[in-house]
Homo-oligomer: A and B are copies of this chain.
Amino acid sequence: MDSSQSRSLRWTPVFERIPEDKRRRVLESAKRSFATKGFAGTNVNLVAEAAGISVGSLYQYFRTKDDLFLALIDEFHLLLESTLDEIVSSETGFFGRVEAILRAAIRSSLEDPDLVRLYIACTTDELAPLSGRLSNRIEGISAQLYRDMVRSAQERGEIDAGADPAATAFCLDDIFLLVQFSYGSDYYRGRLKTFVGASALEDPESLVASVMHFLRRALKPD
């Protein structure tokens, strides 16, 4: 790991120097706990224990429980950024990008459901004291990117010229977000089953197709 790139403000230089697999173990243990028990419900002693370290070591790596939580949110942030960058550079058409974002949302949830659960935990008002420090940075990336995608597709005549780019980005993200939640969280998995049926969980491509039908119509030019 290139420490000049990975240097996070959330952890201490001590954490930088421990082996990669140990670092991974600490972050995974914390992610698991915040994702399943929430912020207040997370006991740092148990996080340390599950990672096979002492709680004293944990406090040498992260000064506070807040910092431990925020380090994980940074991870979500970096993952989203790199996923979207990759989609934008490999897909050129508007609807191709939208479809790739939907698929990436589903794939990332299936691969790492705890990251989605963590994101959901971070949207609760229980975490309002931290939200000033989060300042919707995750949304900052996607809002900007989706608005730009809408504007440039409008200029090319690929989509409805009358749509408001900001509100369109909001509607797109509403759907991306709840598709993502649906494959990672217990509650939203139940919601998808209630709305669309178990088939959507077993065959995500069928949901992608129906959602694309909806979005293509919403945005196609006159």
A143 close to B (CB within 8 Å): yes
Q: Is the interface of A mostly helix, strand, loop or mixed?
A: helix
- Find chain B residues with CB under 8 A from A35 CB: 125
User: Contact at A190–B121, with CB atoms within 8 Å?
Assistant: no
- Find chain B residues with CB under 8 A from A163 CB: 210, 213-214, 217
The number of chain A residues with a CB under 8 A from chain B is 64
Quick one: closest B residue to A162, CB to CB? B213
Q: For residues 80 through 134 of chain A, which have their beta carbon under 8 Å from a beta carbon of chain B?
A: 117, 120-128, 131, 134
Contact segment of A21-29, A36-44, A63-71: A36-44
Contact flags A166-177 to B (C-beta < 8 A → 1, else 0)? 111111011101
- Find chain B residues with CB under 8 A from A143 CB: 194-195
Q: How far is the CA of A222 from the CA of B59 in the complex (A)?
A: 62
User: Contact at B36–A167, with CB atoms within 8 Å?
Assistant: no
Q: How far is the CA of A31 from the CA of B166 in the complex (A)?
A: 33
User: Contact at A131–B186, with CB atoms within 8 Å?
Assistant: yes
Q: How far is the CA of A140 from the CA of B187 in the complex (A)?
A: 13
- Find chain B residues with CB under 8 A from A173 CB: 178, 195
Quick one: closest B residue to A178, CB to CB? B174
A211 close to B (CB within 8 Å): yes
Minimal beta-carbon separation of A98 from chain B (angstroms): 13
- Find chain B residues with CB under 8 A from A18 CB: none
Q: For residues 145 through 191 of chain A, which have their beta carbon under 8 Å from a beta carbon of chain B?
A: 160, 162-164, 166-171, 173-175, 177-179, 181, 185-188, 190-191
User: Contact at A136–B191, with CB atoms within 8 Å?
Assistant: yes
Q: How far is the CA of A162 from the CA of B197 in the complex (A)?
A: 19
9 A-B contacts, Cβ less than 8 Å apart? A35-B125, A117-B124, A136-B187, A139-B195, A143-B195, A163-B214, A167-B200, A170-B207, A174-B177
The 4 A-B pairs of least Cβ separation, nearest first, read A167-B210, A40-B41, A218-B218, A38-B126
Report which A residues bind B (CB closer than 8 A).
Answer: 35-41, 117, 120-128, 131, 134-136, 139-140, 143, 160, 162-164, 166-171, 173-175, 177-179, 181, 185-188, 190-197, 200, 207, 210-211, 213-215, 217-220
